[in-house]
Amino acid sequence: MSQRGKKYNDAAKRFDRSRTYGPGEALDLVKSLAHAGFDETVEMAVRLGIDPRKADQVVRGTVALPSGTGKAVRVAVFAAGAAAEEARAAGADIVGSDDLVARIDGGFMDFDVAIATPDLMGQVGRLGRKLGPRGLMPNPKTGTVTTDVGRAVTEFKGGRVEYRADTRSRGVVQVPIGKVSFARGALLANFRAVVEEVQRAKPAAAKGRYIKSVAVSSTMGPGVDVDPTALRVTDEDLAVAG
């Protein structure tokens, strides 16, 4: 803790870090502990009982956040012809085929999500070294390789985010679930969506306890541990939270 900033250390002293909290209480703490001079992102980290280095234990996909992310998402689409027009009509920020491949190969990376039609994956595949490390490589498993580019653009603009269990951290899924400025109910709705999606994505090969721990935090704030045995958020919880 001593290597952190003074505001972080002060925030970490304002709650009991030795205990776990219910989802609503944890999110209230995250909101109250945020101290930066900007609207911090609220992050959720879920540690899973898997070995993501094994092919049959990969956890990866997308989740639609009902309250959105609070962030303007820039979407790039690799498409040509009618599919390119569909992408533009849906609000894609950058659309192209060979020309977009060349731009990215030259260093252009000003986007948050990349979507491609299947027929262009041969060209897009050459960008693996640039897109892969940033988690931007289009993939059928995340819905970013598709013939329905209009729908994909609309969904990612509207709050659909990708997630994957990190192989380096031995199975931690990190997902942004909104902003500190969000109402408690909006954050709870997104929290519930992530929990339900991660549970749905449980690999058949996973043994023992699947969700080992959950924590929520703001961009600059300390992590607050959520009780992994009490993750369920009901409609009544959302109604009360407002």
Domains of the chain: 19-69+159-241 (3.30.190.20), 75-158 (3.40.50.790)
- pTM score of the predicted model: 0.83
**What's the pLDDT score for residue 30?**
95
**What's the pLDDT score for residue 87?**
98
Residue pLDDT, tens place only, 150-177: 999 999 999 999 898 988 778 999 999 9
222 touches 8 (CB < 8 A): yes
Q: Which residues of the chain have pLDDT under 50?
A: 1-2
**What's the pLDDT score for residue 166?**
86
**What's the pLDDT score for residue 1?**
41
Across 219-239, b (16+ Cβ under 10 Å) vs e yields ebbbbbbbebeebebeeebbe
**What's the pLDDT score for residue 13?**
82
**What's the pLDDT score for residue 202?**
95
What number of other Cβ atoms are within 10 A of residue 157's Cβ? 18
**What's the pLDDT score for residue 3?**
59
**What's the pLDDT score for residue 186?**
95
Residue where the block lists tokens 């990708």: 162
